[in-house]
Amino acid sequence: MILAVDVGGTKLAAARVSPEGAIVETRRAATPQDADAETLWRALREVIGPLSDGVAGVGVGCGGPMEWPSGVVSPLNIPGWRGFPLRARLSGLFPGVPVRVHNDAICLAVAEHWRGAGRGVADMLGMVVSTGVGGGLVLGGRLVDGGTGNAGHIGHVVVDPDGGPPCGCGGHGCLEAVARGPALTAWALGRGWTPGDPAAQGDYQEERAVTARTLAADARAGDEVAVAAMSRAGRALGIAIASATHLCDLDLVTIGGGLSQAGEPLFGPLEEALREHARMAFARRLRVVPASLGQDAGLIGAAALILASDTY
């Protein structure tokens, strides 16, 4: 058995995974908010403790940034961990077994390539469009880490160099500045959008809140501002993906995260902008599809870091 761990700003998750890659048992807990480093570590130990018997390897996806491959993490959304030696601590708990830590967006891309929509594809970008916009690159059938483990950061591909909004990175006009969920909802709220009738929104509590999911549902229902917001995000995604496929000669892009189920209001304008800009003959084969794995994707990708370490 190996242990897969997914560390996020709102949730800590872990799973026992069989050598064949099947998730045998999963445990989850809320990430303690405003907690110090040791409180966070204790919370993580409580999640993984009952899963620890006979563990032969530990794979971890964690929010960035981090020092890679040493696994000293400083997740943006976990302020209590700044320079926290997550990999070393886990090696202390599981002496003598391999422990690998990688960026969470990379684990999601790895999961889609290993077990999801990208299975068997040689050259793909696995994206996540959520609070942030990130991704991971698989080229020639192997994960590309980049010099510091940060390859795949498509959120900071420039899509609007002159007029684009400021980005959290300090730049402006990045894809993430346009297409991250909070940017989308802020743009729509500023133009008079109010989240639609809760009864029309489906099963999830969060869909009644000011989220990109609600916005996407309202766009599907025809709300004009919501449609415009989704179209703006879709265009930005299409432009960035055109740049990425010209640079990396891709077969496939998968889109996961909160917006992956947004449907036509997002994917229509995305495809249109992509076909407008991805004009080299070799770029035309590119397919863009929603990610196919659900909430366990991060754990599956983390498991692959150990179970398929020759590829990832």
Rg of the chain taking only CA atoms, in angstroms: 19
Q: Tell me whether residue 98 or residue 171 sits nearer to a copy of itself (CB atom).
A: 171
Q: What minimum distance in Å lies between the beta carbon of 59 and a copy of itself?
A: 19
Q: In whole angstroms, how far apart are CA 67 and each of 52, 137, 143?
A: 25, 18, 18
Q: Tell me whether residue 40 or residue 151 sits nearer to a copy of itself (CB atom).
A: 151
The answer to whether 245 touches 253, Cβ cutoff 8 Å, is: yes
Q: Cβ contacts of residue 224 below 8 Å, gap of 6+?
A: none
Cα–Cα distance measured from residue 279 to residue 194, given in angstroms and rounded to the nearest whole number: 38
Can you tell me whether residue 312 is helix, strand or coil?
Answer: coil
Q: What minimum distance in Å lies between the beta carbon of 298 and a copy of itself?
A: 21
Q: Tell me whether residue 166 or residue 198 sits nearer to a copy of itself (CB atom).
A: 166
Q: What is the largest CA-CA distance in the chain?
A: 58
Q: Tell me whether residue 45 or residue 172 sits nearer to a copy of itself (CB atom).
A: 172
Q: Tell me whether residue 27 or residue 275 sits nearer to a copy of itself (CB atom).
A: 275
Q: Are strands 72-73 and 66-67 parallel, antiparallel or unpaired?
A: antiparallel
Q: What minimum distance in Å lies between the beta carbon of 120 and a copy of itself?
A: 13
Which residue ranges make up the site for a copy of itself (CB under 8 A)?
65, 122-123, 137, 139-140, 144-163, 167, 169-174, 239-240, 242-244, 246-251, 273, 276-283, 285
Q: Tell me whether residue 40 or residue 273 sits nearer to a copy of itself (CB atom).
A: 273
Q: What minimum distance in Å lies between the beta carbon of 164 and a copy of itself?
A: 10
Cα–Cα distance measured from residue 249 to residue 242, given in angstroms and rounded to the nearest whole number: 10
∠ CA 155-101-153, rounded to 5°? 10
Place of tokens 């917006």: 259
Residue 32: DSSP 8-state: P
Cα–Cα distance measured from residue 147 to residue 162, given in angstroms and rounded to the nearest whole number: 29
Q: What minimum distance in Å lies between the beta carbon of 64 and a copy of itself?
A: 9
Q: What minimum distance in Å lies between the beta carbon of 303 and a copy of itself?
A: 22
Q: Tell me whether residue 251 or residue 264 sits nearer to a copy of itself (CB atom).
A: 251
Q: Tell me whether residue 163 or residue 192 sits nearer to a copy of itself (CB atom).
A: 163
Q: What minimum distance in Å lies between the beta carbon of 58 and a copy of itself?
A: 23
Q: What minimum distance in Å lies between the beta carbon of 83 and a copy of itself?
A: 13
How would you label 202-239 residue by residue, b for 16+ Cβ within 10 Å and e otherwise?
Answer: eeeeebbebbbbbbbbbbbeebebbbbbbbbbbbbbbb
